[in-house]
Structure 1
C-alpha cells in the first residue's frame, strides 16, 4: 500500500492545525459522502470459487484499514509460486450508480496531513471490501509461477473467496520468501533498466509548540512488497495488450536535454552520475539522509514527468511502455484507493477466463485518463501545500536567521535552495548559481499562506571547488 508523503506524528495544534485543516476545504475536497451514495452500499455475494484454505497475509503501514492486497508465497521446485489477491471492489459498485458516479468525481483517495479523503465510503473501503484478517472476502486472485530468477513463466487471474490470516506491518513482517523474491525482482528491474523514485516519507513531529520534519526512507520490506505490485501491473498490461483492449500507465523516456541537465545538477551537488552507471542504479545509490543527495533525488523527479494513461480498444497503442518500469505496465493493485484499477481488474479477469471485456469497462475507458489526471493534480496540490505549510511553521521562529544552503536551481534573479539543516527546500532571491553553496537569510515564514522566502547574502564556490 502506498503511504502519504507527509503525515503528522500526532495532532498539530494552533495556527498550524488550522492551516492544515483548511487545505482540503480550500481545494473543495469532500470528506463526507452524499446520503444516496451511502444508501447504495450493497452486500454482494462472495465468489463461488473457495480459496480460503490458502494462508494469505497482508503487509501495510501500521493502523491501515483499507487493505487492497494480500499474498501467499511458496517454493515450487527451483522457482516460486506467488498468489496475489486484490480486493474485489467492483462487486460493490453498480456501473452508473451513485457509488460509481461519486468515485469518478473523486478519482482517488487523497492523503491530507490530518486524515485521508477516501475514494469510496469507509463502509466499503475500510470494512466490507477490505482484505481484513480473519474474514472471508471476494478477491481477484492472481496466480504466478516464477522460475529460479523470479521471472514469470505463467500466470492467470480469477475471482475467488479468500481469508487473510494475519495483518502484518513493514516493521514486523518476517517472511523470508518475500525478501528472496523481492531482491530477485529488483535485480530483474535493474537488468531491464527500470528505476524507482524513492522519496522519503516526511513526518511532522511537534514538541512544546516547535515543529520538526523527520524524513524516513522506505524500509526494504516496502520495496519487496512493491515488487509484487509491479509484477501484477506488468501482467495486467500483458493481458490487455494481448486482447487489444484496456488502459495502460505509460510514461515516455526523459528528453536528452533533461537528462543532461540532471547530470549537471548531480555533479554540482557533489555526487556525479557516472556515464557507465544505469539511471536506476544511480538513484538506488543515493543516501537520502544527506541533504545534497536528497536534493538530487528531488531533482530526479524532472525525469519522471509525462506519466499518463493510454487507452486502446481494437489494437495495441503506439506507446506501451512506462519508462521508469521499463516495460508495459498498468495500475491494477489498489482498487479501494484508485479509480482506474477497478476497470483494469475486471478487464483482466474476463480476458484470463476467455470472456469478452465487459461493456461497462469498455464504455468507461475513454473517460478515465482525464479523471485520473484531475485527481492526481489535486493530490499533488495537497502534498505541496501541506509540506509548504509545515516548513513555514518549522522556520517561523527563525525569521532573520542565516542558513547554509545549496542552490538546486537558478533563474535570473531568484531560484530554489536546499538548506543543509533543517532539510527544507525554498525560494530564494538573489543572483544564484546552480550547485553553489550560499548563506541565505530567512525573510518570510508565514504559516497562513504557506510561504517561505530567503535572500542570498553570500555566494560560495560550487561543491568540490577550492
Structure 2
C-alpha cells in the first residue's frame, strides 16, 4: 500500500502522522484529502479550524495548533515548491508542441482537455479530446499547458484519465487549504496549492487541482495577473464564504424545486383519468403555486400589456423551459405575448384550462360565470333594500292590460313586452313596455359603472355573459311572467299611413300575462281566422300595426336587408371536450312574423323616444346612419332578388353613429331614433333611461350632452371590440364544426363579387345561413345567384392561445343545378 510521501510538510506543520485509508469517512474533527492516484485516499488528520463560515458546534483546536502557523505555512510551501520545481521537467515551459496537453477557451466557454496532435496551418493546432474528436484552436485560446512527462509525450488515453480523475476529485478538500491560506493572509499559486493538498506536482495532480479551483465558488478567488500553472488564488473572507454558502443553498433549493415541478408535471400528464389528475385548487395550494400563477398571468395577458412584472416573466420563462413547452423561452428577449401560446398549451395539457377555453374574452376582463365580488354584494344589498321615493310611488298602474313578452326560448333577460289597449273611440293604442333598471340604479353607481365597462351583454355559442349581475338581470330588472314589474312604457296611436299620431312615455307598473316564444307566435298567427279573440286578437292588432309601420318606413327610404342569420350552439359542458357537439343552423328573420312584429315595435319605441328628445331638447344617445347613393333601378334589377340583392344593398350602407343631438337614420327611414328597449343588455339604452326618467320626474338631467358623447364614444369603441370577440368565437366554433366534417361538400349561393379581380366571391352556405368568402377557380364561370359546390380547404382549430381565429377557408369546385332546373 502506498504511503504519503514528499517533504512531510503537513506533518511538520500540524504535528500529526499521516494515515492511509481507503474509502473511509472522516469524523467531524478531521479533513479528508483525496489522492486519486490508485483510488487511495490519503488522510491528514488535522484539527478543525473554526471560522465564521463553519458550524459553531465544531470543536476548537488546541492552542498549540495555531502557534506560528503563519510562518510554518510559508516555509512548507516554499520547500514544496522548490522541491517540485527540481523534480518536474519544464514546469514553466508553455511552448505548444505535438504531445502537449492543453486546456483552452473559445467564445468565452471553457473546453475540455485536448492532446495536440499536429499543426493546423502556420500557428494553429489540431487537438483531440477524450471522445476522439478533433478541435482546432489558436495559441491565444490556450488557458493551461500541463508540464511534459519526463519519460516522453502524452497519449490520447491520458486525456481520458486526467478528465476522469478531475471529475472524481472531492471539492471538500479545498476547505482545509482555505483555512490555512486565510490565516496566512497571502495568495497561493496553483503549484503551491497542489503541493499543499496532494503532496506532489505531477501533471495529473496539477490538472486535478486546476479543475477543483476552476469549479470552486465557495473558498477562493483568482488573484494577480499570472495565468496557467502560476495562477494565484486568494482565500475569501469568512463572511464572504458564509454569504456564498447561503447563496449556494438557495440555488440548491431552487434546483430541487425545478426538478420537483418537472416531475409533478410529468406525473400529471401521465394520468390516464381526469379524476386522478391534480386540479387547479391542488396546484394553487401546493408547493408550485407561484409557477402556476405566473403561467396563468401569461396565458390570460392582454396584447400590449405592460402590467406583468419582470419576476413573473422570468419565472414563467423558466417554467416553460423546464417542461420543454418552449425551449427558447427567454424573458430577456421574449414577452408575455411570445410566451402566451406555450403557457396556454401547458395549462391545457394539465387540465387547468379547458380545451376550448375562450381566453380572449377573459383577457378582456369578463368573467364567464360571475361578476366581481364587490358588485355581487352591491346587487344583493339592492335586492334586499329596494330604493323608495318617486320612482316607486308615481307610477301609472297598467296591471289590467294583457302583456305579451316574445323572445327566444333561451332568453333569461326579458326586457320588453307588448300590450293592446282598446279605446272607447274604437282605436287601438299600442303599448311597448320596457324593463326599468333606472328605478333601481343611478348613473355613476358601482353597478352602473361595471355595466358601462361591459357595454352590452355578450352572446356566444356556448352561452352569454351579461352586462348586469344575473341576480338583477333575471330578477327584479326583468319583466317576469306573473309578477308586478316596474316598466318604462311608451304608448302610441298610429295614423292610417303608419306614422305616429300620438305618443306618451310613463313610468308604469305592469304584469306579464303571456310569456311566448317566436315559434309559438308564428304558429298562432298561421292559424288566425275572423273569429279569433283574446291573445289571438291582440296579436292580430299588433301584426297589422307592424305591417303599417313597415310600409311607412319603406315610403321614407328605409333599406331592408333580408339576409339569413347563422345560429351556433355548443353545450357549455363541451368546452372541455375533445370532440364537442356543435350545431349550426340558419334562420331567416324576414320569414318569421313574430320576429318581424317585435322588430317593428322596437323601432317604433325608438322613434317615439327620439321624438320626445327632439320636442323637449333632451340630450340622448341618438343613432344615425347615412346611405350612399343607391344603385339605379336597372342595376338593382340586374341582380337576382332576395339574398343577392340584399348583399348588394348592404354594400351601400355606412357605419352607424351616435350623437347627443338628433340625427337622421336613413336605413331605418326615421328622422330621429334612440335605442331604448334593451336597458338590461345595452348600456346606451340604459343611458337613455336615466335621461328620460329624470325628465319625467322633473329632476335635473344626470348627464350632459358632453357626458353622453364621451360615454357613447367609449362604448362604441368597446362595442367594436366585443363584436370582434363574437366573430372570433364564431370562427373558432365554425372551424370545429367543419373540422369534424372534413369530407363533406356544401351547397352555396354566390351573393356577389367580393373582389372580382382576385376571383374572390361572397357566398352563402344555404343550410347554415353562413356568409363567407371563397375563391372561384378560373375554369368555373360564376355570377351572382349561381349555386356552387364548396369543399373545405382549411379549418384551424385548437390554437387557443392565439387570437383572432381565422374563419374556415373553402374552395369552389363545381356548379350545382339550380332549383329551377
Deviation at 1:261, TM superposition (A): 10
Deviation at 1:131, TM superposition (A): 0.8
- Whether 2:797 is the aligned partner of 1:447: answer yes
TM-score normalized with structure 2 length:
0.46
Q: Which residue of 2 aligns with 1:178?
A: 542
Question: Could you tell me which of 407, 414, 418 is aligned with 2:763?
Answer: 418
Q: Which residue of 1 aligns with 2:129?
A: none
- Whether 2:640 is the aligned partner of 1:271: answer yes
Size of the alignment, in residue pairs? 414
1: CA distance between counterparts of 2:450 and 2:747?
48
- Whether 2:704 is the aligned partner of 1:340: answer no
For the residue of structure 2 that corresponds to 1:325, the secondary structure is coil
Structure-to-structure mapping, 1:275-424, within 5 angstroms = 286=642, 293=643, 296-312=645-661, 320-327=663-670, 328-351=672-695, 355=698, 357-360=700-703, 364-396=707-739, 399=742, 406=750, 408-410=753-755, 412-413=757-758, 415-418=760-763, 423=768, 424=770
Q: Structure 1 pair 413/170, CA: closer, same or farther in 2 (3 Å)?
A: closer
- Whether 2:491 is the aligned partner of 1:154: answer no
Q: Which residue of 2 aligns with 1:10?
A: none
Q: Which residue of 2 aligns with 1:253?
A: 626
Structure ID, larger Rg: 2
421-430 vs 41-50, which deviates more? 421-430
Question: Could you tell me which of 593, 606, 614 is aligned with 1:233?
Answer: 606
Q: Structure 1 pair 237/441, CA: closer, same or farther in 2 (3 Å)?
A: same
Q: Which residue of 2 aligns with 1:143?
A: 491
Q: Which residue of 2 aligns with 1:3?
A: none
Q: Which residue of 1 aligns with 2:177?
A: none
1: CA distance between counterparts of 2:507 and 2:747?
57
For the residue of structure 2 that corresponds to 1:172, the secondary structure is helix
Kindly provide the CA deviation profile for residues 288-332 of structure 1, in whole angstroms up to 9, marking residues without a partner as x.
xxxxx2x553454333332021113xxxx5xx1111111111111
1: CA distance between counterparts of 2:546 and 2:736?
39
- Whether 2:479 is the aligned partner of 1:123: answer no
1: CA distance between counterparts of 2:559 and 2:393?
37
CA contact (8 A) 1:240 1:347 kept: no
For the residue of structure 1 that corresponds to 2:615, the secondary structure is helix
Q: Which residue of 1 aligns with 2:513?
A: 165
CA contact (8 A) 2:561 2:649 kept: yes
CA contact (8 A) 1:142 1:156 kept: yes
For the residue of structure 2 that corresponds to 1:93, the secondary structure is coil
Q: Which residue of 1 aligns with 2:248?
A: none
1: CA distance between counterparts of 2:690 and 2:365?
31
2: CA distance between counterparts of 1:129 and 1:203?
27
Q: Which residue of 2 aligns with 1:276?
A: none
342-351 vs 233-242, which deviates more? 342-351
CA contact (8 A) 1:202 1:215 kept: yes
Q: Which residue of 1 aligns with 2:362?
A: 25
Deviation at 1:97, TM superposition (A): 1.7
For the residue of structure 1 that corresponds to 2:619, the secondary structure is strand
Q: Structure 1 pair 115/431, CA: closer, same or farther in 2 (3 Å)?
A: same
- Whether 2:400 is the aligned partner of 1:58: answer no
- Which structure features the higher share of strand residues? 1
CA contact (8 A) 2:402 2:511 kept: yes
420-429 vs 85-94, which deviates more? 420-429
Q: Which residue of 2 aligns with 1:34?
A: 372
Deviation at 1:156, TM superposition (A): 1.5
Q: Which residue of 2 aligns with 1:4?
A: none
Q: Which residue of 2 aligns with 1:220?
A: 593
- The answer to which structure, 1 or 2, has the higher relative contact order (CA under 8 A, 6+ apart) is 1
For the residue of structure 1 that corresponds to 2:795, the secondary structure is strand
Unaligned runs of 5+ in 2: 1-353, 522-535, 572-578, 799-804
Q: Structure 1 pair 266/20, CA: closer, same or farther in 2 (3 Å)?
A: farther
Question: Could you tell me which of 414, 417, 435 is aligned with 1:70?
Answer: 417
CA contact (8 A) 2:434 2:678 kept: yes
How well do the aligned residues superpose, as a CA RMSD in angstroms? 3.4
2: CA distance between counterparts of 1:114 and 1:209?
11
TM-score normalized with structure 1 length:
0.77
1: CA distance between counterparts of 2:794 and 2:633?
29
Q: Which residue of 2 aligns with 1:195?
A: 559
Q: Structure 1 pair 265/431, CA: closer, same or farther in 2 (3 Å)?
A: farther
For the residue of structure 1 that corresponds to 2:520, the secondary structure is coil
